């Protein structure tokens, strides 16, 4: 990190007599005292416990100084609020290092799109990205201040828990390119309507540079939140950019677009991932990356966490595990993908669907609507688990569906019926613990 202690003090407006401290270069800034190393600056944040209680530990680990909201008997920078100082410093550091920002948010696909954009841009530029899920008011500044010194482009994922979160993060990052992957139903319980979710996600435009570009889905619900004086690119059928000639395979997919002259192949399933890859390819064209290099990057992309993953049961059956999270849009998309893949010779197709949480008052209706995405000319049987899935149960042919209230019984039933040539999809919110069924089938 190319910052000295005095420079940091000036940027954050430290109010104590910091000029008496040696103006040494700071290696890193850490908010976990256990991660502090020689030459680091400690950031005591207030969480379950007040980070000021760990200042002594940070110095024992090698810290040269600490932020502090009170005067202490140790080298420190006195600030009114440690987190605000951290955020202000991240904003300054992006400007100082002249790093261009590509910001990504959305109800689904933001992590995968971020990974794919980073892979594409790395073909030409020194590119860094949000690590893991560091996409909030703490994680994003941490990402910025931990980027390598030679970074030219940074891909920042922006998450949202409440209205205003994305707006705030965008004003820190000041992106050149801002992308909204999807307006779905995530956190509908807290936001109330998709309109409010759209309003929150479109906060990404707030810090967009005057010469910047906003890339959004063709969804009417966002229209009222689009700025009039910004270049806007829409994606979707017959829009500015779109996917054509999509071919799905079990472990990969291929597609073309209306703006590239060659086919793209990516090593992950799911037609929704074609859209994510298309967005990455389009960003690549905005930064003058050759089409062959775009295709090469996407053909070997490594994802942060592949939430949609094919696994093998102990008896050889194919398991499509997508149990990290769930909302109606994501469930419909994975069902489309699963049903489009040909059956194994002599095999059957089964699905285990569990409750989708945080959908608020609309939860019963949204669960029932999943029936429209189930094709029983393809599906042999569907297994439902959870209180909310009763709303889907009544919409399905009763001879093709089974309902369970006990996870252990469900796992035992699946294990009994699943044959070596069968294919099984599991999808539900993480707290429904469908992952335990996957583990049981692999034993």
Residues making up the binding site for ATP: 106-112
CA dihedral 353, 358, 360, 362 (to 10 degrees): -30
Name the nearest CA neighbour of 378 among 346, 340, 337. Answer: 340
Question: Quick count: other Cβ atoms within 10 Å of Cβ 395?
Answer: 14
CA distances for 103 relative to 172, 186, 227, 325, 409, angstroms:
11, 19, 17, 22, 44
- Per the annotation, binding residues are 106-112
Instruction: Write the DSSP string, 10-26.
Output: HHHT--S-GGGS--PEE
Q: How far apart are CA 357 and CA 355, in angstroms?
A: 6
The answer to whether 410 and 433 have CB atoms below 8 angstroms apart is no
Q: Which residue has the tokens 């828990």?
A: 161
3-state helix, strand, coil in the chain (%, to 5): 40, 20, 40
The answer to whether 235 and 275 have CB atoms below 8 angstroms apart is yes
What does R_g of the chain's alpha carbons equal in angstroms? 24
The answer to whether 336 and 369 have CB atoms below 8 angstroms apart is no
Instruction: Write the DSSP string, 88-110.
Output: HHHHHHHHHHT-EEEEEE-SSSH
Q: Which residue has the tokens 């700025």?
A: 227
How many degrees, rounded to 5, is the angle at CA 427 between CA 425 and CA 431?
A: 145
The answer to whether 167 and 206 have CB atoms below 8 angstroms apart is yes
Phi-psi category of residue 305: left, alpha or beta, with phi > 0 → left and psi -120 to 50 → alpha: beta
Q: How far apart are CA 35 and CA 77, in angstroms?
A: 20
The single-letter DSSP state of residue 123 is T
């Amino acid at each position: 990190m190319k910052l000295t202690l005095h420079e940091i003090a000036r940027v954050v407006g430290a109010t104590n007599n910091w000029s008496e401290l040696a103006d040494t270069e700071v290696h890193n800034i850490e908010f976990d005292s256990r991660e502090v190393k020689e030459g680091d600056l400690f950031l005591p944040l207030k969480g379950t416990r007040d980070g000021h209680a760990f200042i002594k530990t940070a110095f024992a680990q090698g810290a040269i100084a600490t932020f502090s909201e009170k005067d202490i008997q140790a080298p420190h920078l006195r600030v009114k609020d440690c987190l605000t100082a951290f955020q202000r410093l991240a904003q300054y550091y992006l400007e100082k290092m002249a790093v261009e920002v590509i910001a990504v948010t959305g109800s689904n696909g933001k992590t995968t799109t971020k990974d794919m954009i980073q892979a594409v841009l790395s073909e030409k530029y020194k590119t860094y990205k949000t690590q893991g899920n560091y996409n909030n008011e703490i994680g994003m500044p941490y990402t910025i201040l931990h980027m390598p010194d030679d970074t030219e482009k940074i891909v920042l994922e922006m998450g949202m828990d409440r209205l205003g979160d994305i707006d705030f993060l965008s004003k820190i990052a000041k992106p050149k390119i801002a992308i909204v992957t999807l307006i779905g139903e995530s956190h509908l319980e807290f936001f109330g309507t998709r309109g409010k979710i759209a309003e929150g996600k479109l906060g990404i435009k707030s810090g967009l540079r005057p010469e910047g570009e906003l890339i959004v889905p063709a969804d009417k619900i966002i229209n009222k939140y689009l700025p009039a004086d910004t270049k806007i690119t829409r994606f979707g059928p017959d829009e500015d950019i779109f996917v054509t000639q999509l071919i799905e395979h079990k472990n990969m997919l291929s597609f073309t677009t209306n703006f590239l002259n060659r086919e793209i192949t990516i090593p992950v399933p799911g037609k929704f991932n074609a859209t994510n890859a298309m967005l990455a390819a389009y960003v690549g064209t905005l930064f003058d990356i050759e089409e062959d290099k775009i295709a090469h990057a996407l053909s070997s992309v490594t994802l942060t966490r592949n939430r949609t993953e094919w696994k093998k049961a102990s008896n050889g059956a194919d398991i499509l595990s997508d149990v990290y999270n769930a909302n109606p849009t994501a469930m419909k998309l994975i069902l489309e993908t699963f049903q489009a893949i040909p059956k194994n010779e002599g095999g059957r197709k089964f699905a285990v669907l569990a409750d989708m949480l945080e959908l608020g008052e609309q939860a019963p209706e949204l669960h029932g609507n999943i029936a429209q995405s189930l094709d029983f000319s393809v599906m042999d049987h569907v297994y439902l688990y959870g209180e909310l899935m009763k709303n889907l149960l009544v919409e399905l042919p009763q001879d093709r569906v089974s309902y369970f209230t006990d996870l252990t019984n469900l796992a035992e039933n699946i294990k009994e019926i699943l044959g070596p040539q069968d294919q099984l999809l599991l999808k539900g919110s993480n707290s429904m613990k469908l992952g335990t069924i996957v583990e049981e089938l692999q034993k």
